[in-house]
Amino acid sequence: MVAHIHGTPKILSEAATAKHLQELVKHMEKGRDKPWQMKELGPGGLERRLRNIVGYEMPIEKMEVKFKLGQDERAADMSVAIKKLHEEGGREHLAEMMARHCKLTE
């Protein structure tokens, strides 16, 4: 899937950017045996990095989406890819979407 998003970005304050990064790290690290935490950057680590990060939010004014999940690939190749996604676990939804979109049955 490809999405082109149009809107007018609004630059976030340093504090809002830091808060967003904290939430993002917490979300992305959830479920890991030893989740990484921002405090591992050390004293002043986040503050030093924030000088080089521009946080922004952008209300969506227009969205263009194209749905591509391998429909141009050979059926045999897609079947293998779908099978591997099922085997990995946690990717069943994607595998089912690909099978449906490419009109394959497993």
Please tell me whether residues 62 and 72 are part of one structural domain.
no
More confident residue, 101 or 25: 25
**Distance between first and last Cα of the chain:** 22
Mean pLDDT, residues 58-72 taken together: 83
Percent of the chain at pLDDT above 70?
94
Please tell me whether residues 47 and 4 are part of one structural domain.
yes
| Contact yes or no for 101/66 (Cβ under 8 A) | no
Please tell me whether residues 31 and 8 are part of one structural domain.
yes
Residue 61 pLDDT > 60, yes or no? Answer: yes
| Contact yes or no for 60/9 (Cβ under 8 A) | no
More confident residue, 6 or 74: 6
pLDDT confidence of residue 106: 46
| Contact yes or no for 72/103 (Cβ under 8 A) | no
> Six-digit token pair at 106?
């497993």
Please tell me whether residues 98 and 60 are part of one structural domain.
no
Residue 49 pLDDT > 80, yes or no? Answer: yes
73 burial via Cβ count (<10 Å: 0-12, 13-18, 19+):
middle
Please tell me whether residues 48 and 81 are part of one structural domain.
no
Please tell me whether residues 54 and 30 are part of one structural domain.
yes
Residue 74's domain comprises 68-106
Angle at which helices 75-88 and 92-101 pack, to 10 degrees? Answer: 160
Count of domains in the chain?
Answer: 2
Please tell me whether residues 62 and 74 are part of one structural domain.
no
Helix, strand or coil for residue 62? Answer: strand
